[in-house]
């Protein structure tokens, strides 16, 4: 006679991992790139884009930084 396996548990085994946060400088770079009709916003977009690209390995947002 064989035994039946124990019933499966559908309860979560641990806390869910939070979603990775996007780099705020990448978002600033994208917004300044889109609003680039003023004189200072493209310069701010370029500077924050380079900083965001450097930090994109630890945080997300590489695509946003490139887009900005």
pLDDT tens, residue by residue, 39-63: 788 888 888 888 888 887 767 777 7
- Tens digit of pLDDT for each residue in 9-49? 665 666 676 666 777 888 888 888 888 777 788 888 888 88
What pLDDT was estimated at residue 57? Answer: 72
Percentage of the chain lying above the pLDDT 70 cut: 74
Neighbours of 62 (CB within 10 A): 16
Neighbours of 33 (CB within 10 A): 20
Let me know: does 24 contact 55? Beta carbons within 8 Å: no
Global confidence as pTM: 0.59
Let me know: does 55 contact 22? Beta carbons within 8 Å: no
């Amino acid at each position: 006679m064989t035994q039946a396996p124990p019933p499966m548990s559908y309860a979560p085994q641990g806390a869910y991992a939070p979603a990775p946060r996007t780099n705020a400088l990448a978002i600033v770079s994208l917004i300044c790139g889109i609003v680039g009709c003023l004189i200072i916003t493209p310069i701010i977009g370029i500077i924050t884009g380079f900083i965001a690209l450097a930090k994109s390995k630890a945080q997300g947002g590489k695509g946003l930084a490139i887009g900005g």
